[in-house]
């Protein structure tokens, strides 16, 4: 903790600092020995209070909150002309976590809105972007769930060879959301482009889904296996931050490429049928952006898919 505008030679300041040490020890949030480092000009000092807890768990965060909200205002905060700031690794973690929480709704909202608009224009359907967002959020939620089970509920500690501190690093949820949503959207657009290609060639939606999955299954699976293997290596790291990052990414990519893209996406498209391509009349003004064609067949669907005369 840094105290400015306070000279320890002032009796009121010295008593307030001593009172703060006593209260911190009495509340069990700090333990001796306490140390005071005086500034060069005597206009301030740093009071070191060793906190209880591991530094990044609920006990340490509670200590920071108690210091800021109760103990400092009741001691040094009552001395005129004294300014205080609670610093240190734990205080930095608390402040950074709060900043991340405040920014998460804006980041998530921006990503979802942009993804919705891009898919709406690309596939000229209001159902496709809604379904894509829901499916992508499922893979992200699954990753969050696994992280909670492994690192907050202490599952698989023996298997993965680590000791959890009961927390998840504060920057990880937002980082995982952005990365996983981008990867999931990449897979989703790749598959839907082939499905749309079949539909535009005159195939029923059910057959177009089969065609799209068949054409993309090998590429999607291969890419997913490479990423899962790489992210799994991060999961073997001795650094808890890298371990959480690697496990979260590996689980999400694995589930996304198998359960989400291999089961839920084709199943939902088959159930919805032609409703997959529903576009309200008031959105008919949207520009037509054609999905990328399969260049292996001269820019048109593979052999066996009927092509309209005007496309020949």
Q: Does residue 112 sit in the same domain as residue 223?
A: yes
Position 309 scores a pLDDT of 41
The domain tally of the chain equals 2
The model's pLDDT over 92-106, given as tens digits with 9 standing for 90+, comes to 888 888 888 888 889
Q: Does residue 78 sit in the same domain as residue 148?
A: no
Q: What is the mean pLDDT of residues 3-12?
A: 67
Q: Which of 87, 121, 156 is a domain's end point?
A: 87
Which residue is associated with the tokens 């734990």?
A: 90
CA distance 170 to 261: 29
Are 211 and 203 within 8 A, CB to CB?
A: yes
Q: Does residue 107 sit in the same domain as residue 74?
A: no
pLDDT at 302 over 50: no
pTM of the model: 0.71
CA distance 189 to 133: 12
**Domain limits for position 14:** 2-87
The model's pLDDT over 57-70, given as tens digits with 9 standing for 90+, comes to 778 888 888 888 88
Q: Does residue 10 sit in the same domain as residue 81?
A: yes
Q: Does residue 58 sit in the same domain as residue 107?
A: no
| Runs of H (alpha helix) within 236-312 | 240-255, 265-272
Residue 142 lies in a domain: yes
pLDDT at 306 over 50: no
The model's pLDDT over 106-160, given as tens digits with 9 standing for 90+, comes to 989 999 999 999 888 888 889 989 999 999 898 899 889 999 988 888 787 777 7
pLDDT at 81 over 60: yes
Q: Does residue 83 sit in the same domain as residue 108?
A: no
Give 3's pLDDT tier (boundaries 50, 70, 90).
Answer: low
Q: What is the mean pLDDT of residues 260-285?
A: 85
CA distance 271 to 249: 30
């Amino acid at each position: 903790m840094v105290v400015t505008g306070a000279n320890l030679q002032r009796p009121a300041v010295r008593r307030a600092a001593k009172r703060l040490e006593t209260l911190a020890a009495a509340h069990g949030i700090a333990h001796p020995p306490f140390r005071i480092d005086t500034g060069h000009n005597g206009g301030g000092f740093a009071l070191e209070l060793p906190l209880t807890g591991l530094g990044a768990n609920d006990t340490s965060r509670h200590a920071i909150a108690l210091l800021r909200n109760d103990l400092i205002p009741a001691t040094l905060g009552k001395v005129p002309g004294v300014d205080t700031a609670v610093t240190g690794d734990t205080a930095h973690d608390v402040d950074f976590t709060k900043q991340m929480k405040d920014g998460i709704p804006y980041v998530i909202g921006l990503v979802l809105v942009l993804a919705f608009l891009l898919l709406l224009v690309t596939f000229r359907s209001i159902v496709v972007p809604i379904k894509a967002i829901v499916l992508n959020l499922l893979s992200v939620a699954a990753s969050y769930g696994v992280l909670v089970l492994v690192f907050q509920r202490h599952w698989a500690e023996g298997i993965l060879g680590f000791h959890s501190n009961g927390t998840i690093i504060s920057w990880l949820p937002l980082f995982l959301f952005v990365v996983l949503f981008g990867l999931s959207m990449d897979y989703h657009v790749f598959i839907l482009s082939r499905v749309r290609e079949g539909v535009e060639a005159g195939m029923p939606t059910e057959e177009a889904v089969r065609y799209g999955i068949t054409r993309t299954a090998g590429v999607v699976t291969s890419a997913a296996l490479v990423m899962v293997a790489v992210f799994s290596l991060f999961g073997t790291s001795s650094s808890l931050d890298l371990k959480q990052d690697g496990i979260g990414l590996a689980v999400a990519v694995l589930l996304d490429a198998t359960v989400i893209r291999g089961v839920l996406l084709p199943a939902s498209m088959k159930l919805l049928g032609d409703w997959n391509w529903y576009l309200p009349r008031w959105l008919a003004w949207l520009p037509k952006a054609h999905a990328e064609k399969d260049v292996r067949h001269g820019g048109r669907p593979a052999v066996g898919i009927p092509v309209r005369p005007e496309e020949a």
